Amino acid sequence: MNSPEIHLVLTDDWELRGDGSGNMRAMQFATVRELVSIYNEFGLKGTFMAEVMQQMQHRRLGKTHSELAVLADEWEDTLRQVHSQGHDVQLHLHPQWDKATFEAGKWILGSPWGVGDYGAAELRSMVESAKAYLEDLLRPVDKAYRCCAFRAGSYLAVPSDHLLPTMAELGLVADVSVVPGWHINSIFRGQRLIADYRHVEESFLPYYPAPNDLRRKGPRGPVHCVPTHSFQFNLTRKLQRRLMKALGVARDDLRRPSALPPQGAGGNTYDRRAPASGAGRPGWGVRLRNLFASTHRISDLGELSFWEAKLMFEDIRGKARQSSWNQVPVVITNHTKNIGDFGPIRRFAKYVAAAKDIRVLTLREICDNLISGRYPLGSAYRAGTQC
């Protein structure tokens, strides 16, 4: 069985919280500087998925709110500095920032969250203007800069009849919105959040998507789907983790970067899957079923302990060996807005830098490889790959 080279892409969704809350200086500017410093120390290149709708609204309303204009300037300066150090910047887009208002020092986002809730013209306008914003910002730093990859906010890329045609028309090469095995169906801040990736036809390797559904394989085309990696966390691993915690074994290995919020952020994550008010705590039956059920973990660096990250690599290496590819691109994600403890991140970076079978590439490099045909996408059409 072959031992392919893993082309690992370290993406980071660089953003405020999805409802517009959070301290930008603490959650975005300080955390990205810390992460870039760690990557630079170990010779790794990150890919920062910049949430541009947020920035455009800061710039628009900065005309009447001077504090927003200052933040918008700092956002641009920070991103230029990140890119000038050799890191990549690609497009992340939360459409709920459309028509945002700013009142009493708080953002109010009332638009739908999923790209599928927008018509073709609306979606194209958002994606086109956001892509142009990045290119106008970064080409003075790097004349060869090209925005070629996209991730939908909160992974809400399906269902949508317009996303793939829009990407093709605008020259976007890769979508990294699909998270095989993951799903959500909830109401948050009055908005329906729905996406279901439990039945993706190719759960690991890149593929050409069907024109109207990212989850299905289609004919060769200009857009490629590169799944964001996820892995199963079964009962054995759940019990192992609980036992290790109970015994106080390998405490540093079990620390999660998001266990502490960024300093000055005023708290940490919000739960978009939280039950409705008054629903109460799940009963023992539900809790036991959840314990025994195998769950999918998104390969989100900020949410994984070092112990869990090593399990993630076990899964990546196993799936890579099962493929017929000599080089396998794998995208993982991160959310620096949640990270208050960079100790596990540093251990992860040291591990990756020392691994002989892992080569860290930017998403721009993956796009170039996809265009050149370096990866044999035709061989990804295998039977029995559904999640």
Tell me the domains of the chain and their CATH numbers.
Answer: 5-380 (3.20.20.370)
Token pair for 45: 């290149």
Main-chain dihedrals φ then ψ at residue 368, nearest 5 degrees = -60, -40
Is the Cβ–Cβ distance between 300 and 338 less than 8 Å? no
CA 174 to the chain's CA centroid:
13
3-class SS at 79? helix
User: Which of 133, 63, 59, 120 is closest to 92 using CA atoms?
Assistant: 133
CA-based R_g, the chain, Å: 20
Q: 228: which DSSP letter?
A: B
Q: Residue 282's pLDDT is what?
A: 54
| Rounded to 5°, angle at Cα 315 from 251 and 208 | 135
Q: Is 72 left (phi over 0), alpha (psi -120 to 50) or beta?
A: alpha
Residues sharing a CB contact under 8 Å with residue 9, sequence separation 6 or more, in sequence order: 47, 176, 226, 329, 330, 331, 332, 360, 361, 362, 363, 366
User: Is 77 exposed, middle or buried (CB count within 10 Å of its CB: 0-12, 13-18, 19+)?
Assistant: exposed
The model carries a pTM of 0.92
Torsion of CA 105, 273, 230, 364, to 10 degrees: -30
3-class SS at 332? strand
Tens digit of pLDDT at every position of the chain (387 positions): 568 999 999 999 999 999 999 999 999 999 999 999 999 999 999 999 999 999 999 999 999 999 999 999 999 999 999 999 999 999 999 999 999 999 999 999 999 999 999 999 999 999 999 999 999 999 999 999 999 999 999 999 999 999 999 999 999 999 999 999 999 999 988 899 999 999 999 999 999 999 889 999 999 999 999 999 999 987 888 888 888 888 887 888 999 999 999 998 876 656 655 544 444 455 555 455 555 566 889 999 999 999 999 999 999 999 999 998 999 999 999 999 999 999 999 999 999 999 999 999 999 999 999 999 999 996 543 433 332
What is the distance between the alpha carbons of residues 113 and 131, in angstroms, rounded to a whole number?
A: 19
